[in-house]
A and B are shown apart, each in its own frame.
Chain A
Amino acid sequence: MPELATDVERLSLVIEIGGMPVRVNTTDPEFLGMLKNRYAGFVGTADHAEVDFDVALTTPGFGASDADVRVRWTSGQWLLERGDFRAEWEPASRRGSIRQSANPYSTDSVLRIVHTLALAREGGFLLHAASAIRNEKAFLFAGVSGAGKTTISRLAPPDATLLTDEISYVRKHDDHYVAFGTPFTGELAKLGENVSAPIAALYLLAQGPRNQIKPVSAVEATRSLLANVLFFAEDPALVQMTFHSAFEFVSRVPARRLTFVPDSRVWEVIG
């Protein structure tokens, strides 16, 4: 009797952001190719993955990507939902699944959420901030849309390494903080470099008539930081962790207000 079913080849890609490998499994070679292209520079080779996601592709137009995202802890797993995806992640088994159309933007959103959840447990966070390395030190430039994240990234001198123009990746290492490059892009649409460095300063961005750096109080720095931290989960315990992480960060990393004109000379005052 002939076999009624044949094994479908499982294709995998490890996407390693912030030193955390996440394996994505699919049966669609075209989708895998899209992911390889999207995360070029962040493709890892680790056998071990923090999370293994099986992706089940749906027909295009599965749902709207502009719908509100919901992230809940239920029955021992995280449930991540938006119009264009539904994902489950069980941390204990390191396994998860994603149901989405073949749109890397949906995968990107799931990855951002998974990283915020994982970082929260170890004192780190994702931040609405551009970041770059210069002289082996990382600098963060935080601000809401229009504050100048893309502009400061575009003006970076040749000896600066751009980590991201949109979403910065912050991890706590012992008594200091490290910024990692991310593939999460903003208007610049340029992937960050997959490198890291200790964070030397946090700059709160504002555009103004001249380049100027001013100190900010710990209260203002903490308030601004919290306003720019990415929160997704409807989970009081996680909110508490991230809240206290922001205070810890401000107690260890100098924060300043950077007012600047869109001119490359702004980088002369950074450091």
Chain B
Amino acid sequence: MSKLYVARSPRVAARSLDGEMMIMSGRDSTLFTLNRTATLIWQAADGTTSLEEIVKRKICREFEVTADEALRDAETLVRELATHGILEASEEPISQKTSAGGSR
């Protein structure tokens, strides 16, 4: 099975408050609150570390879960967040883009 790479979308606003990661889609202003697992993946999603590595380094160390099981759950989560434009997912490493900004 090919590797999956994930990157935080530059088209969102994100902030951690009292341990909860809140993310708002820049596309449709939908607000998401991530749980602990999703937050760990979000924070590690640099585009160059594979999801498999993220799961091994971040998820398996913190939770009592097998790597295979954690990876399956993580892939489901990543694909769901990708459909909302929160994360970008690709089978190739993703180059970091600059944040969407500009003066209005």
Contacts and interface: CB of A to CB of B under 8 A. Distances in A.
Interface stretch (A11-19, A27-35, A147-155, A238-246): A238-246
A136 interface: no
A218 B13 CA distance: 17
A87 to B, nearest CB: 15
Interface in A200-231: 217-219, 222-223, 226-227, 231
A240 B26 contact: yes
Given A218-B18, A243-B13, A236 B104 contact: no
A243 B10 CA distance: 14
Q: Is the interface of B mostly helix, strand, loop or mixed?
A: loop
Interface in A243-264: 243-244, 247
A22 to B, nearest CB: 17
B18 A237 contact: no
A236 B17 contact: no
A121 interface: yes
Given A236-B27, A244-B15, A219 B104 contact: no
Scoring A217, A227, A240 by chain B CB atoms within 10 A of each residue's CB, the highest score goes to A240
A247 B31 CA distance: 13
Contact of A121 (B12, B101, B104): B104
Interface residues of B, number: 22
Given A218-B17, A219-B18, A247-B17, A226 B24 contact: yes
Contacts of B100: 236-237, 240
A50 to B, nearest CB: 14
Contacts of B20: 219
B2 interface: no
B15 A238 contact: no
Among A73, A78, A222, A239, max chain B CB count under 10 A is at: A239
Interface residues of A, number: 23
Given A236-B100, A238-B104, A240-B26, A227 B31 contact: yes
A116 B84 CA distance: 24
A236 B12 contact: yes
A237 B11 CA distance: 8
B28 to A, nearest CB: 8
Contact of B11 (A219, A231, A236, A243): A236
A44 to B, nearest CB: 24
Given A227-B31, A244-B13, A235 B26 contact: yes
Contacts of A244: 13, 15
Interface string A67-102: 000000100001000000000000100000000000
A226 B31 contact: yes
Contacts of B10: 236
Given A217-B18, A236-B12, A243 B104 contact: no
Contacts of B13: 236, 239-240, 243-244
Interface of A: 73, 78, 91, 117, 121, 217-219, 222-223, 226-227, 231, 234-240, 243-244, 247
Given A223-B33, A237-B104, A244-B15, 7 more contacts: A73-B104, A219-B33, A226-B24, A236-B101, A239-B24, A240-B26, A247-B17
